[in-house]
Structure 1
Amino acid sequence: MNEGNIVNDLAVVVELFNIYALLLLFIGGFVLWALNWGISKASLKITEKLPTRRFLILQITTLIGFVLYTVGSAALIIGVLQPPKEFMLAAGGSIAVALGFALKDIAASLVAGLLLLFDRPFRVGDRVSFADVYGEIVSIGLRTVRLQTLDDNLVTIPNSRFITDVVASGNSGELDMMIVTDFHVGLDADLEDAKAIIEEVIVTSRYAYLKKPVSFAIEEVEIGDMLAIRLRSKAYVLDVHYEKAFQSDIVVRVSKRFQEQQIPRPRRGSDA
């Protein structure tokens, strides 16, 4: 009797996965991929026209892709194969057990992906630091998060890593972001003049976001075997895409102004 049940089950499987059904599944899978690709391309064009809404558009696109693949795949399998209820329950139980052992890491990443969508420790477009990687989140998928570094490398990180490890978001869904830049001057420098020069350069930069204040933290530090004064400026860039351009702009211009105003820099005793 057991052999008869096995034969019947095999016959059901063969009947479900005939050439016609497999062809429909392939076509349906291709259509899902094409729809997601088209939505992604359309969202990129929309972000070019509405740059201030870039983060919101990318987040909506990510959510649409998630729903499209999960709901579309389930509907495709049920609609094309139309398996009997008993077969679905038996197959689902067997597949769940097998996948639970064989794909536990992937399953953990899938669950983590759902948590990321609802908990939202970061969003698409955020500049984040994770482990020793820093860059912009370009996509949050079912299994992985893709991050593009400032050196234009695409880093793929399993979702499960973000649940257990520490991740820091620099802008938390906003276009602007704080940029911290350090300047060092000698102990005999006029700190008010140095601070005024830095602040003037920052507020006149075309990349500065002036709706948020410029602030400073000043302290004495040791550089090698030298003592110096560190002026740490905290200013906001108007768009995270200009992060390094903003920082480079103020460093170059401040250095030039320091030379013109003869603001002393840290130096060794032998160089005095």
Structure 2
Amino acid sequence: MEEKSKYAKLFNDFDSQALISLGSVLLIAVVLIIFSQRGLNWIATRLHGQLRFRIFALVPLTRLLILITALAIIVPIVIEPSLQNMVTLLGALGLAIGFAMKDYVSSLIAGVVSAIELPYRPGDWVDIEGTYGEVKHVGLRTVDIQTPDDDLVAVPHLKIWEHAIYNANNGGTSLQCVTSFYLHPEHEAGWVRKALRDVALTSAYLKFDQPIIVIAEEKPWGTHYRIRAYPVDPRQQFLFITDLTVRGKRVLSEAGVQSAMLPPDAALDANNEAGSSYSRSSEY
């Protein structure tokens, strides 16, 4: 019976005064949120440079502070402010926060593991669950990847638990690029292979201390050639692939070598193969 009375005193008795107080706090909080968001947005749209973005960043922070203040005022109205009640409330709140932030904690632990195992470092070109780019920063919770389209993507470290991490250069300066050519089957394969090797050998972006490999693979619709070579700097990979594609296409066209006519299913497979490479393969 005594236990029941303790639990019954967890909440205060509600009367008209308490309801009016709750309503007033909620109304004031809603009004403050609306005015702060509209006011800050109005100010930010009339500013320029970094100051504009800093004002925009204050919008969610201001809303959060208003909600926390409103909650701090509401809790004593609803719950009797005794030590036992506060311990019970904080325990339930801690459990809810812990459950909600389990992924955040997992990312922090994975960040410690990544600092030891080094699956990626700043300067590495990585592919994590379809996000390909250069690692710019390795934080406690996320790794920042700058994509070739100049987007900065924050990927949580917890991806290392269940996804493969593709590292193209692994802390070094050697990054293999793949350039693809799809040719009609009627051609002199030996000459084409040598010509494509010469195209790579004469590129201004070529790293000469790494091998140049030209691979030929026969397909039902033609022959698939791939030039595997390395640029001087990993950041030059797309310029390198473009250079090989443009000059290789010109050499083959001048020699009368025709490109293959890919059926729809073969074109889809070719795109999938190109997308699986670290450096997105160009095609001819």
Tell me the TM-score normalized by structure 2.
0.57
Q: Give secondary structure in 1 for the equivalent of 2:209.
A: coil
Matching residue within 120, 123, 133 for 1:122: 120
Q: How far apart, in 1, do the equivalents of 2:224 and 2:204 lie?
A: 25
- What is the root-mean-square deviation of aligned Cα atoms in Å? 2.3
The aligned counterpart of 1:235 is: 229
Q: 1:250 and 2:244 equivalent?
A: yes
Q: Is 2:155 aligned against 1:161?
A: no
> What are the ranges of 5 or more consecutive residues in structure 2 without an aligned counterpart?
1-90, 263-284
In structure 2, the partner of 1:134 is 132
Q: Deviations over 1:220-243 (max 9, x none)?
A: 124xxxx11111111111111101
The one of 217, 220, 226 equivalent to 1:219 is: 217
Q: How far apart are 1:98 and its partner, in Å?
A: 7.6
Q: 1:163 to 1:267 in 2, by over 3 A?
A: closer
CA shift, 1:176, in A, is: 2.1
Give the residue type in structure 2 aligned to 1:207.
Y
What are the superposed Cα offsets for residues 165-212 of structure 1, whole Å, 9 maximum, x if unpaired?
111111111112000111122111111111111111111111111101
CA offset at residue 96 of structure 1?
8.4
Superposed counterparts of 1:18-167, under 5 Å: 100-167=98-165
Q: Residue 260 of structure 1: which of 248, 254, 257 is its match?
A: 254
2:176 aligned counterpart, secondary structure: strand
Aligned residues: percent identity? 30
Q: Radius of gyration: which is bigger? A: 2
* Cα distance in structure 2, aligned partners of 1:257 and 1:216: 15
Counterparts of 1:96 and 1:205, CA distance in 2: 60
Tell me the equivalent position of 1:170. Answer: 168
SS in 2 for 1:117: helix
Deviation at 1:265, TM superposition (A): 2.4
Structure (1/2) with the larger strand percentage: 1
Amino acid at match of 2:155: I
Q: Which amino acid aligns with 1:255?
A: K
State the shift of 1:97 in Å.
6.9
Partner SS state of residue 256, structure 1: helix
Counterparts of 2:237 and 2:94, CA distance in 1? 46
8 Å CA contact 2:196, 2:214 repeated in 1? no
Shift of 1:262: 1.5
Distance between the aligned counterparts of 2:257 and 2:96, measured in 1? 69
Deviation at 1:267, TM superposition (A): 4.2
What TM-score comes out, normalization by structure 1 length? 0.59
SS in 2 for 1:237: coil
Matched residue type, 2:178:
V
Deviation, 1:101, is 3.7
**How many angstroms apart in 2 are the aligned matches of 1:251 and 1:125?**
26
Q: Distance in 2 between matches of 1:134 and 1:112?
A: 20
Matches of 1:220 and 1:166, distance apart in 2: 30
Distance of 1:140 and 1:163 partners within structure 2: 16
- The one-letter code sitting in structure 1 at the alignment partner of 2:151 is N
Distance of 2:96 and 2:141 partners within structure 1: 18
Deviations 1:92-115 (A, max 9, x none): xx8987864442221111111010
Which whole-Å CA distance do the structure 1 matches of 2:94 and 2:123 have between them?
Answer: 34
Change (3 A) 1:144 1:267: closer
CA–CA separation in structure 1 for the residues paired with 2:131 and 2:102: 25
Equivalences, count: 173
User: Structure 1 pair 262/118, CA: closer, same or farther in 2 (3 Å)?
Assistant: same
Counterpart secondary structure, 1:198: helix
Aligned match of 1:199 in 197, 200, 203? 197
